[in-house]
A and B are shown apart, each in its own frame.
Chain A
Amino acid sequence: MTWFSKFRKLPFWSWFWFLLGVLYFVLPLYATLDFSLRMERGTLSLKAYEVAFSDPQFLNTFLYSIFLAVMTIIFSIALVVPTAYWIRLRLPQARRIVEFITLMPFVVPAIILVFGLIRIYSSPFEIPFTSIVIMQPLTNFKVGTNILIIGGYTVLGLPYMYRSVDTGMRTVDVRTLTEAAQSMGANWGTIITKIILPNVRTALLSGALLTFAIVVGEVVLASFLGIPAFGPYLFLLGQHRAYEPAALAFTTFLLTWAAMGIIQMVTGGQGQAAGAH
């Protein structure tokens, strides 16, 4: 046995690295919490929280971001699940191309994405070679801007959602389950909603969690598209105040985890998926 393998067998070092990792994540969180409690000099108080919560902008922007996150998750699932399913079932040769596309948000920064969106969707859609307008610029009205930002967020969350769903599908025998359902008379819609989705539930949940976290804290897209979301609000607050942003950042952290806990509870009682065992 070499000295290195002996070293690796020591539980002390396992614990050391584990605790170091925990400290790396927990210490900044603790520092934020501690700072947010010191608005009143010489004492710990919830004053920063009181001030932050009393601002109606906080709730409005936070709820708006939750709305955008939920819509993004729904749109992502509708896009990614059938795509990943079809690739696994019929088009395995397309997997590399799709994986490459889903990794694009890591290469193309959000600022490029938002300028691209504005560049394309801020002009009216015309039938080529005519001046007949078939749709007004999406940036000109609220629903249109919301569609744009949800589309943008879907792109940003794509690497996480696709990877999660694809990994989830790897744990079930998609092809045989599909054929079994087909032989019992099920159509594609039934197969996806009744068989595939419930069996990749855990994977969907992790994809949704990551998408949720991205959307709630996102600043660039929301700022440039002029969306009253939580990210830009927190950013602006941070430029003018000291303690309230820390209080809100900590609150957001708790609320995000609470929201995901609720999703877990709501979807947790519908039987176990194959991948969960």
Chain B
Amino acid sequence: MAYLELNDISKLFGKTIAVENFNLQVEKGELVSFLGPSGCGKTTTLRMVAGFELPTSGKIIMAGRDVTNQSPNQRDVGMIFQSYALFPNLTVAGNVGFGLKIAKKPAEVIKKRVAEMLELIHMPDFGSRYPYQLSGGQQQRVALARALALSPDVLLLDEPLSALDAKIRVSLRSEIRSIQQELGITAIYVTHDQEEALSISDRIVVMYNGHIEQIGSPFKVYNFPETAFVASFIGTLNAFNADIIDPKTNTIQVDHIQLVTQESLGDRKVGDKIMIAIRPERLSFSSEQKKANLINCQIENITFLGSIVRIAVKSEGTHFYMDTFNNPFLELPKVGETVEITCSQQAVIILQH
């Protein structure tokens, strides 16, 4: 039995379906991210786990207990909010010790635990400060310490880094991940930032329009997207409608370009329509050895993006993006030049729908 189970969860606001038939099992110590665009139902699902929203149907099982109808203060969850939500009238120590005080722990225990938590977030000398005296990153670290002070069953993080600047976001997400792994705490992390989700999650739940599109490890979700939405939402993607030319040899055609995929075409017949995707980084300039999936095209545009260079190419009416790693000695073709690009058979992914 999983540590946290969401069984057939649905949530309606009036006639609007926010979440529908959501099923998820989270193991103890796992960090699962809910990833999706605004309005996909990820925060609503998190709020149902926290107890701030009641599911219209379905069950939530936490550490073996059915908590579906329990109020938030009866559930053993720690929550971190986008806006930090530190209590402005309390000091850092007061904030971190708030839950322990509510639980009527002895003053000595509270003091010791607060010191432990402040040590954990590398802010041992900040106990007497007020939230307004801290930066955004520091406030969010205090919020993390506050949520962890009670050793909750599940830690819930609702876009905790969205209000921070890029550099702090990267360092704080590593800190959150290392603390979560160090304490072995089960966590659910809501974000719309794919890089954030890919970098810190054990598994990602990609959501769209209240549904789960795909659940899998970051590696699997990125490299083997199951749906057109997942493929388009995570990373940059070349997606095309294709016709099946020969199911036996897995040959398909995109406009005039013939491609071979390693994925099985199953029961599909000649002339059937499918949707395929190729990641830009899986395309490269053709060399003598590579002759499969060869595409003759013209350079349209070259964009320097720091560590990578994105090249837009056109093959008659079909447009592709191709990424190549930047290096100081990189020799790139010029705009308008004709080149041959290629990709492996594994790079041609068939999307389910």
Q: Which A residues fall within an 8 A CB radius of B?
A: 172-173, 176-177, 179-187, 190, 195, 198-199, 201, 270-274, 277
Taking CB atoms, residues of chain A closer than 8 Å to B86 are 180
Scoring B residues 48 to 77 as 1 if CB is less than 8 Å from chain A, else 0, what string do you get? 001110000000000000000001110101
Q: Which B residues fall within an 8 A CB radius of A?
A: 50-52, 71-73, 75, 77-79, 81, 83, 85-91, 98-99, 102-103, 130, 132, 143, 146-147, 150, 156
Given contacts A183-B72, A185-B102, A186-B73, contact A270 B89 (CB under 8 A): yes
Interface of A, helix, strand, loop or mixed by DSSP: helix
The 6 closest A-B pairs by CB, nearest first: A184-B99, A274-B88, A198-B89, A180-B85, A182-B72, A183-B79
Q: Measured between alpha carbons, how far is A201 from B52 in the docked complex, in Å?
A: 27
Other-chain contact of A177, B85, B91, B150 (Cβ < 8 Å)? B85
A197 to chain B, nearest CB (A): 9
B97 to chain A, nearest CB (A): 10
Other-chain contact of B102, A173, A177, A190 (Cβ < 8 Å)? A190
Q: Measured between alpha carbons, how far is A187 from B81 in the docked complex, in Å?
A: 19
Taking CB atoms, residues of chain B closer than 8 Å to A176 are 81, 83, 85
Other-chain contact of A183, B78, B89, B132 (Cβ < 8 Å)? B78
**B103, A271: Cβ atoms closer than 8 Å:** no
**B102, A186: Cβ atoms closer than 8 Å:** yes
Question: What are 24 contact pairs spanning A and B, CB under 8 A?
Answer: A172-B88, A173-B83, A173-B85, A176-B81, A179-B52, A179-B72, A180-B86, A180-B143, A180-B146, A183-B51, A183-B78, A184-B99, A185-B99, A185-B150, A187-B73, A190-B102, A195-B87, A195-B89, A198-B89, A271-B90, A272-B130, A273-B89, A274-B89, A274-B132
Q: Measured between alpha carbons, how far is A273 from B89 in the docked complex, in Å?
A: 5
- Please name 6 further chain A to chain B contacts, defined as beta carbons within 8 Å, in addition to the given A182-B52, A183-B50, A183-B72, sorted by A numbering: A180-B87, A181-B87, A185-B73, A185-B150, A187-B73, A277-B88
Q: Measured between alpha carbons, how far is A11 from B150 in the docked complex, in Å?
A: 57
Q: Measured between alpha carbons, how far is A201 from B87 in the docked complex, in Å?
A: 14
**B103, A185: Cβ atoms closer than 8 Å:** yes
**A271, B79: Cβ atoms closer than 8 Å:** no
Name which of B72, B79, B89, B103 has the most chain A CB atoms within 10 A of its CB. Answer: B89
Taking CB atoms, residues of chain B closer than 8 Å to A186 are 73, 98, 102
**B89, A199: Cβ atoms closer than 8 Å:** yes
Q: Measured between alpha carbons, how far is A176 from B146 in the docked complex, in Å?
A: 15
A70 to chain B, nearest CB (A): 23
B350 to chain A, nearest CB (A): 43
**B81, A180: Cβ atoms closer than 8 Å:** yes
Q: Measured between alpha carbons, how far is A195 from B88 in the docked complex, in Å?
A: 9
Taking CB atoms, residues of chain B closer than 8 Å to A271 are 89-91, 130
**A177, B79: Cβ atoms closer than 8 Å:** no
A200 to chain B, nearest CB (A): 10
Taking CB atoms, residues of chain A closer than 8 Å to B75 are 183
B114 to chain A, nearest CB (A): 13
- Specify the chain A residue showing the minimal Cβ separation from B104: A185
Name which of A180, A186, A190, A270 has the most chain B CB atoms within 10 A of its CB. Answer: A180
B190 to chain A, nearest CB (A): 14
- Specify the chain B residue showing the minimal Cβ separation from A191: B73
A204 to chain B, nearest CB (A): 13
B43 to chain A, nearest CB (A): 12
Taking CB atoms, residues of chain A closer than 8 Å to B87 are 177, 180-181, 195, 199
Q: Measured between alpha carbons, how far is A184 from B50 in the docked complex, in Å?
A: 11
Taking CB atoms, residues of chain A closer than 8 Å to B81 are 176, 179-180
Taking CB atoms, residues of chain A closer than 8 Å to B103 are 185
**A272, B88: Cβ atoms closer than 8 Å:** yes
Q: Measured between alpha carbons, how far is A182 from B71 in the docked complex, in Å?
A: 8
Taking CB atoms, residues of chain A closer than 8 Å to B52 are 179, 182
Q: Measured between alpha carbons, how far is A198 from B99 in the docked complex, in Å?
A: 17
**A184, B150: Cβ atoms closer than 8 Å:** yes
**A273, B88: Cβ atoms closer than 8 Å:** yes
**B79, A272: Cβ atoms closer than 8 Å:** no
Other-chain contact of A272, B72, B89, B150 (Cβ < 8 Å)? B89
Given contacts A271-B89, A271-B91, contact A182 B83 (CB under 8 A): no
Taking CB atoms, residues of chain B closer than 8 Å to A182 are 51-52, 71-73
